[in-house]
Amino acid sequence: MNKNPTKRKYDSTRRQAQARSTRREIVEAARRLFFSSGYSGTTIEMIAREAGVATETVYAVFGNKMAILAKLVDISIVGDDEPVPLLERPNIQAATQINNPGQLIEKFSTDIAGIMQRMSPVFMLLRATAPSEPETAALLEKLLKGRIEGMTFFVSQLKRMGALREGLSVEQAAETTWVISSGEVFHMLTVDRGWMKEQYVHWLVVTLGRVLLH
């Protein structure tokens, strides 16, 4: 019979928090190494040293390097390690309650800017690695497909409002938005051209309004 259930619950909660903290430290260590040494040039041993944990711990938590990369992608997309897909998050679902096309485009543009601040370098890493790493190529393909689904969700809200340009299908609008809001375009404008985030958001709002709305 357990005479101290409160202590057991506390211990369990503390262990879960410690495990979660360790996962985050491993992923952030991998992020630094992937960007500095490349995916292929990074080993589990290097990640363990960078994270300050044993190599066995990395294997126990993730199993292999690809699993770490996949977790890095997930965290970069949503901004945290909560196991809730992007399209199911309250911040994104709030778009279904917006009835003004301009407000929706502004919200979308602001959200995309935040996502691409985290994801643009990851896209570059995946594209550089994909030709020589089939698993990375598959992860990139899945990620790009997921982006199309996100763009379709956004465009469908404009369609719901009756704001989508006449003759422009949801599929065409989603693909156009997919390109304009891509990590590559974000990188060209914010890195190559040195735009501030606010400047990028304004440009995206204006551009999407011109392309999508009637």
Could you report the per-residue pLDDT of 8-46, keeping only the tens digit for each? 555 678 888 898 899 999 999 999 999 999 999 999 999
In this predicted structure, the answer to whether residue 72 has a pLDDT above a threshold of 70 is: yes
CB atoms within 10 A of CB 149: 14
CATH number assigned to the domain covering 1-81: 1.10.10.60
Model confidence at 6, in pLDDT bands (50, 70, 90)?
low
Q: Report CA Rg, the chain.
A: 20
Q: Where are the domains of the chain?
A: 1-81, 84-214
Helix intervals (H) in the chain: 5-37, 44-51, 55-62, 65-78, 90-93, 101-129, 134-160, 170-180, 183-187, 197-212
CA 137 to CA 8: how far, in whole Å?
44
pLDDT in tens, 129-158: 999 999 999 999 999 999 999 999 999 999
Q: Which CATH architecture has domain 84-214?
A: Orthogonal Bundle (1.10)
Is the fold of 1-81 the same as that of 84-214?
Answer: no
